[in-house]
Chain A
Amino acid sequence: MSDIARPPLPGLPSGRAGGVLATYGVWIAAAVVLAVLPHVFASGLALTAMCLMGTMIIFALSYNMLLGQTGLLSFGQAVFFGLGGFLTVHAMNVAESGGVPLPLAVFPLFGGVAGLAFGVIFGAVSTRRAGTAFAMITLGVAELVSSSALILRHFFGGEEGVTTDRTGLVHLFGLTFGPQIQVYYLIAVWCFVSAAAMYALTCTPFGRICNAVRDNPERAGFIGYDTQTVRFISFSLSGLFAGIAGGLAAINFEIMNAAQLGLAQSGTVILMTYIGGVGDFVGPIIGAILVTYLQVALSDVTDVWQLYFGLLFIGMVIFVPDGIAGLLARQRPLLLARQLHRVAPFYALALVPGLAAITGLSMMIEMTNQLAVHVSDGPAMAFLYVPFDADAPLPWLVAATLLAAGTWLFLRAARAARHAYDEALAASRARGRGP
């Protein structure tokens, strides 16, 4: 699933025949995982979180059609997510009050159509430019839409938003969609179909031309393509899928409000996509799952979660700029050449001091937080179940030592690991398996 395609080239050294399992194996596995997940993670919260993840996976993938595939930085992706959600909610309410016999399962389509329609409208305006100018137009459009959403109170329902009842539509096969598990499967199916559709899109002439426009928009013109048209189609289709994601979010929460189309939501999807990795199709999926998990769970562990969030992002862009998927993809040639065992010990060696440094740092953050913010609770606190006083010198000494020594050792181990990786890669290439 990477940029470098493997066309079936009979007669060429690594040409590959596509069997059913080789071509669709990953997808079959994904479907099985989606079906089994709610039986492994069965709690109400887990279901809710997984529904959220499914929605965000579609959203992040739709965003990567722009950022990763076409090289367009947009600040307004949530506009289509939100408008798709609102249209879905309104469509559901109209269907319910008018007795239109449509089952709930098709309603995300309304979101998709809305996303596509607004993608066409805003795309016609913004894709006339590329690069920073494009980014700034999307920023302006996003601000205009989210401000208008508060002013147009009847359509957007004001601050409270618009609510709906997902159980009030016709029940197909006895599915009421009251229980969350039914909603999970609805989202899972849509997530699977959308992801497959977006993956298929990358394998079309248009998908490849998007990559070409991303790499070198000028040259794309000299092989016959109008870059503006490419951007426009990409933008509109991206709106379609973002709208579907919005529709699913609306069904999941049964409420849609103006905050869903604001800049914060657009920022979230940029973070998800980038952290997961824009260079790889699975990147945004990983990013959506990870960031959603952190959003749900991190605030329970610490009340300065935003600080950790920020540090995570800074660390990611400095150390892992091609995202988690990129990090994994870099191990693939080693894996194929059976060279991974040469670097794995170095990874483990770097991990231990790395974790120590992180522990030291978060300990210092938590102690500072205890002393500064929870001043009325006194200095007594616990970190990793170890109780101590935040104003005593010993914990600070421990934390500082962990941080300093951990960082120093980590940097050394990381250098060694990089060295080992380069050697293993060279060895893999020598074996003729890698590129």
Chain B
Amino acid sequence: MVEIVLISALDGVLYGMLLFLMASGLTVIFSMMGVLNFAHASFYMLGAFFGFQISRYLGFWAGLVAAPLLVGGLGTVVERYGLRKVHRHGHVAELLFTFGLAFVIEDLVEMVWGKLPVDYRVPPSLDFPAFTIFSGNYPAFKVFELLTAIAIFAALLLVVKRTRVGLIVQAALSHPDMVGMLGHNVDRIFMLVFGVGAGLAAVAGVIAGPALVTQSNMAGLLGPILFVVVVVGGLGSLSGAFLASLLIGLVQTFAVASNASLAGAFGDLVPSGWLQAYVGDIWNVTVAQVAPILPYLLLVLILIFRPRGLMGTRES
């Protein structure tokens, strides 16, 4: 029992931090610009592929530095010459713009790197088990993942709370209209924010690429889980997103460890004609089976009962 709780907690924290790593850029963009950036996962994928390509010539660490810079630069270009033109037509237009962008990026990646997974490896310097608990290894790369997530969180928090840029950004988080009125160049801020968001997505890509599967459909397969993190955490709240990532990671991991089901709790269903098959599908489902869809349930419940999210400062 202790073993399961301890290991689940550890796995949950590690998974949660991976989620935060992926979602941090989206938090910044979604919170500040209100843009439902469906291309976020595509920037994440670009990060992975750029990282892969650079790592073949200059090694993993060069990729970790260069890929986010490249993708971040690309992000600013996309904002400047695309999104900005769309901005005045409202959020649905922005959303569709990023929709289209996701299609384009996926096909371009397919053209350049093909449709099959590429062999993007963990760097040798991190390819060893960091520690072992209950005979289960925890690779050093995962610890690195965790540390990066925390570092990004700390750095973002520091920038937001302690620097002048951060103060403007923070003001924009709670009073988006005011920032423009105070005479700041909102266009430049938005461009910067989008670039940083895309760059953070790329950091996640470079790090998650070797750990997961680097393939041209990886953006699509990620699904909308990152939106869940941002919304559950609360719009405009970095700490909220951090907390939400941890919560989702832990909920999902503990759920996987549980084999409880209605059948387990109340015994097998008494046979009762044709309905039995239909009800049986629900009756026999274990908590573990539905673990990965629990975050979406959490999303719906949070929005109904606490629409500002865990730590948000404003509603939608």
Q: Is B281 an interface residue (CB 8 A)?
A: yes
Would A144 and B103 count as touching, CB distance under 8 A?
no
Shortest Cβ gap from A188 to chain B (Å) = 30
Interface 0/1 of A124-164, CB less than 8 Å to B: 01001111111111011101100110011111000000000
Would B290 and A151 count as touching, CB distance under 8 A?
yes
Q: Is A307 an interface residue (CB 8 A)?
A: yes
- Among candidates B92, B112, B289, residue contacting A274 with C-beta atoms closer than 8 Å: B92
Q: Is A203 an interface residue (CB 8 A)?
A: no
Q: Is B11 an interface residue (CB 8 A)?
A: no
Closest B residue to A311 using CB positions: B104
Interface 0/1 of A251-272, CB less than 8 Å to B: 0000000000001000100110
Return chain A residues, CB-CB under 8 Å to B285: 151
Return chain A residues, CB-CB under 8 Å to B91: 73, 132
Closest B residue to A322 using CB positions: B89
Among the 9-residue stretches B94-102, B135-143, B174-182, the one with 4 or more Cβ atoms under 8 Å from chain A is B94-102
Would A318 and B97 count as touching, CB distance under 8 A?
yes
Closest A residue to B114 using CB positions: A373
Would B111 and A140 count as touching, CB distance under 8 A?
no
Q: Is B187 an interface residue (CB 8 A)?
A: no
Docked CA distance A372–B278 (Å):
49
Shortest Cβ gap from B106 to chain A (Å) = 7
Closest A residue to B275 using CB positions: A154
Q: Is B82 an interface residue (CB 8 A)?
A: yes
Q: Is B93 an interface residue (CB 8 A)?
A: yes
Closest A residue to B277 using CB positions: A154
Would B280 and A154 count as touching, CB distance under 8 A?
yes
Q: A310-B101, A321-B93, A372-B112 are contacts. A263–B307 as well, Cβ < 8 Å? A: no
Would B307 and A129 count as touching, CB distance under 8 A?
yes
Q: A313-B99, A321-B86 are contacts. A152–B304 as well, Cβ < 8 Å? A: no
Shortest Cβ gap from A22 to chain B (Å) = 33
Docked CA distance A304–B114 (Å):
12
List CB contacts (< 8 Å) of A148-207 with chain B: 148, 151-155
Return chain B residues, CB-CB under 8 Å to A148: 293
Q: Is B231 an interface residue (CB 8 A)?
A: yes
Q: A152-B282, A310-B102, A313-B100 are contacts. A129–B89 as well, Cβ < 8 Å? A: no
List CB contacts (< 8 Å) of B13-68 with chain A: 34, 36
Interface size, B (range): 35 or more
Q: Is A37 an interface residue (CB 8 A)?
A: no
List CB contacts (< 8 Å) of B221-257 with chain A: 223-224, 227-228, 231, 235
Q: Is A369 an interface residue (CB 8 A)?
A: yes
Would B304 and A129 count as touching, CB distance under 8 A?
yes
Shortest Cβ gap from A313 to chain B (Å) = 3
Would B96 and A307 count as touching, CB distance under 8 A?
no
Interface 0/1 of A304-336, CB less than 8 Å to B: 101101111110111001000000000000000
Closest A residue to B231 using CB positions: A136
Find the residue from B96, B224, B278 having the highest chain A CB count within 10 A.
Answer: B96
Would B92 and A313 count as touching, CB distance under 8 A?
no
Q: Is A339 an interface residue (CB 8 A)?
A: no
Q: A310-B100, A313-B100 are contacts. A155–B296 as well, Cβ < 8 Å? A: no
Would A307 and B104 count as touching, CB distance under 8 A?
yes
Docked CA distance A304–B316 (Å):
37
Would A369 and B111 count as touching, CB distance under 8 A?
yes
- Could you pull out 14 A-B pairs where Cβ atoms are within 8 angstroms? A73-B92, A133-B307, A134-B316, A136-B231, A137-B300, A141-B300, A151-B285, A310-B99, A310-B100, A310-B107, A311-B104, A317-B86, A321-B89, A373-B110
Q: A133-B307, A154-B280, A310-B99 are in contact. List 4 more A-B contacts (CB 8 A).
A: A130-B316, A143-B223, A152-B282, A313-B99
Ranked nearest first, the 7 interchain pairs of A and B with the lowest CB-CB distance are A310-B103, A313-B100, A307-B107, A310-B104, A132-B316, A140-B299, A321-B89
